[in-house]
Amino acid sequence: MDPVSRASELRQILEHHAYLYYVLDKPEVSDSEYDKWFRELQDLERDHPELATADSPTLRIGGPPVDGLKPHRHAIPMLSLDNSFGHDELRAFDEKIKRFLESEQELEYLCELKFDGASISLTYVDGVLEIGTTRGDGTTGEDVTHNAKTVRGIPLRMRKPLPGRIEVRGEVVMLKAAFEELNLGKAERGEQLFANPRNAAAGGLRQLDSRLTAARKLSFFTYGVGQVDLNEGRRLADTQSAVIDRLKELGFASRSESRAVVGIEQVIEFVEEIHRVRPTLPFGIDGVVIKVNSLDLQEQLGFTARGPRWAIAYKFPAEQAFTTLNRIFAQVGRTGVITPVADLEPVQVGGVTVSRATLHNYEDLARKDVREGDVVIVQRAGDVIPEVVGPVLDKRSGDLNVISEPSECPECGTPVFRKVGEVALRCPNRSCPAQIAAKLRHFVGRKMMDIDGLGEKLIDRFLETGMITDLPSIYRLRERREELIGFDRLGELSIDNLLASIEESKTRTLARFLFALGIPSVGEKGGQDISRELRTLDAIRTADYATLMEIPNIGPHTAGEVQEWFEDPDNHRMVDELIELGVAPIEGEEPVSDLFAGQTIVFTGKLERFTREAAEAFVAKMGGKSAGSVSKNTSLVVAGPGAGSKLQKADQLGVKVATEEEFLALLPEGSL
């Protein structure tokens, strides 16, 4: 047989057996037979480089390192899910959905395993894998195509190519067996072990050298689709379960445990069943994901800022372990709150090594009566910080040290205090070094100002040497470039990279800026809520209590904190200083997609499906602008019944016009 035909035959054989193995879980040949074909193809491609293709199974072994991981903006954001714990929270979810749909009929749910790995989005064009990206912050991920190609459950080419473009989403996981094998090898070589399969999978996906990813033997399971823009339409099927079935036909692995059930009581039966079999599964899961099965209903339900209304994650109860508590120390946070933290004898809790755990506050510590030297129960629930549940009194022996609350800040010696009605103990000293360090760490964080290269250690070194003293001084580092070179053995390149990311951080959204300031009680969501309503920094700074109270989701406590924070002269001065140094938060909402990037859309006439404000907010969310009048720069006019002069103008200027229905059809499924 000529090499061209043989190479193509070998690829078909290898793909077929990979499908039997990874998707159907029914291998028909041994590993060594598979390897024999694989080597034959490798040899052929080596001798005839012109035969190599972009989707050859030989790519699974990886290739030379790439320069860096490029950011990739998701066409549709990769959202996360609300969590639920316990059966009653599932029942509440079911009731909320029925209320929303104004229906009393039992709903069909698809229950899936909640894989504990790293999410990935895979874009196929005409059936060929084109891009693989991580989730990142949900809006922007990293291009890891080179690594995705090494993951055997990810088809390089679909079994039945679909004309058009489709984004397949799912989780990359490391099987327990692969994890053990990997760690065994590491132990033998005296290398540091991976803490858990999730970290090993997520880290594996982000390698520059895809040969290292290949060596981790990762697996992939699909759980849905993102953007669908196929010749056949915008949907693969009408239900979530049928979508998964079609993905399986196309060559994507999923899990047979998934089950479509009717009514929430059957969901509860399912989660309990999965909880029982969890230890026997070949990979880690941290719960079950419950999705409304009908895609029509999913569309009706839509999304909140956090995630879909039509799905929820059910998390299994926390995992616990016993260990010895060596020491209790006081940690000072960014708002001056002093938290007792336990130093533990390292212990595995639910697959993760834990050596520190929080004791929440001194009242809690006194109530639990945990002492240094006690054997304690440690608990971890999901991604939450591990906590000490309490001592095992039977195991207590001898006189153990009782830790009472400090009267002075352990870092700066200032007498501590409590706010009326709070349990938290606080250090009142704004110049407390521990507080400043924590504030800085928060400010530069990924979801805040996102300053790359300014990690914890460097912040500490900058503080020690007085290079930075407060938030504004970060933006004065630029003036000290010469001094910085050689500081802590930092090279010119890393200094310039650092300075560049500091510059770049000057134009984050107002929502992020508010979160970054570290105003007590204002988190990511709070920053978004406040900036969405009040829109400008000036309006926020001068808002009175009543104005703040009118903001949806902002209660009396947060309103008070915000007002108090901005009224404080020191904070006032600091914000002024940041602005003088060029920090210019972008006012308006952060777009979550670039569907309408660079486009200006005008709405006119009556809209049926949403209010004018909601429509405009939606366009902004999708990266576009809306305008009140039509000009030659208008990209699209959406005209409802009763549209008049604007529609005429559009016709005159030859601007594209769409009905509300047509506009809705432009939108990716589920984006409303």
Which residues of this chain interact with ligand IVH, rule CB under 6 A?
79-81, 112, 114-115, 119, 135, 171, 223-224, 289, 307-308, 311, 313
Nearest in space to 397 (alpha carbons), one of 373, 365, 367, 366: 373
**Pick from 227, 207, 198: nearest CA to 150:** 207
Task: Output the six-digit token pair for 273.
Answer: 């069943």
Q: What is the rounded end-to-end Cα distance, in angstroms, of the chain?
A: 55
If the CB atoms of residues 82 and 343 are measured against ligand IVH, the closer one turns out to be 82
Residue type, position 530, single letter: I
Give the nearest distance from C-beta 352 to ligand IVH in angstroms: 17
Half-sphere exposure of 625 (CA within 13 A, CB side): 10
> Which of residues 82 and 450 has its CB atom nearest to ligand IVH in the complex?
82
**Shortest approach of ligand IVH to residue 173 CB, angstroms?**
9
Copy the structure tokens of residue 606: 């009556």
Residue 275 CB, nearest distance to ligand IVH (Å)? 16
Burial 241-266 (b: 16+ CB within 10 A, else e): bbbbebbbebbbbbbeebbbbeebee
Please state, in angstroms and rounded to a whole number, the distance separating the CA atoms of residues 574 and 557.
23
Dist CA 206 CA 68 (whole Å): 10
3-class SS at 243? Answer: helix
Distance CA 175, CA 152 (A): 12
- Number of Cβ within a 10 Å radius of residue 630: 22
Q: Could you identify the residue written with the tokens 């395993």?
A: 113
CA pair distance 257, 274, nearest whole angstrom = 8
Which one, of 669, 672, 671, lies nearest residue 234 by Cα? 669
Q: Which is nearer to ligand IVH, 301 or 517 (CB)?
A: 301
Where is 573: in which H helix or E strand? helix 569-580
Neighbours of 608 (CB within 10 A): 10
Specify the residue, 34 or 115, whose C-beta has the smaller distance to ligand IVH: 115
Q: Which residue has the tokens 């009118």?
A: 550
Nearer to ligand IVH, 288 or 338 (CB): 288
User: In the complex with ligand IVH, which residue's Cβ is closer, 591 or 640?
Assistant: 591
For the question of residue 114 being annotated catalytic, the response is: yes
Nearer to ligand IVH, 173 or 438 (CB): 173
State which residue, 79 or 357, has the beta carbon closest to ligand IVH: 79
Nearer to ligand IVH, 79 or 444 (CB): 79
User: Which letter does DSSP use for residue 317 in this model?
Assistant: P
What is the closest distance, in whole angstroms, from the C-beta atom of residue 79 to ligand IVH in the complex? Answer: 4
- Opening angle at CA 35, ends 30 and 37, nearest 5: 105
- What 444-449 contacts at long range (C-beta under 8 Å, 24+ apart), as own/partner pairs, is 444/474, 444/505, 445/516, 446/137, 447/137, 447/512, 447/515, 447/524, 448/508, 448/512, 448/515, 448/516, 449/505, 449/508, 449/512, 449/513, 449/516
CB closest to ligand IVH, residue no: 119
Q: How far is the CB of 206 from ligand IVH (least distance, A)?
A: 15
**Nearest distance from residue 278's CB to ligand IVH, in Å?**
14
Helix (H) or strand (E) holding 322: strand 319-332
Question: What is the separation of C-alpha 541 from the centre of its chain, rounded to a whole number of angstroms?
Answer: 30
CB of 23 or CB of 311, closer to ligand IVH: 311
The active-site residue out of 114, 291, 625, 649 is 114
H or E element at residue 286? strand 285-292
Phi, psi torsion values for 408, nearest 5 degrees = -130, 155
Provide the CA 95 distance to its chain's centre, in angstroms: 27
Q: What's the closest the beta carbon of residue 131 comes to ligand IVH, in angstroms?
A: 17
- Looking at the annotation, which residues are catalytic? 114
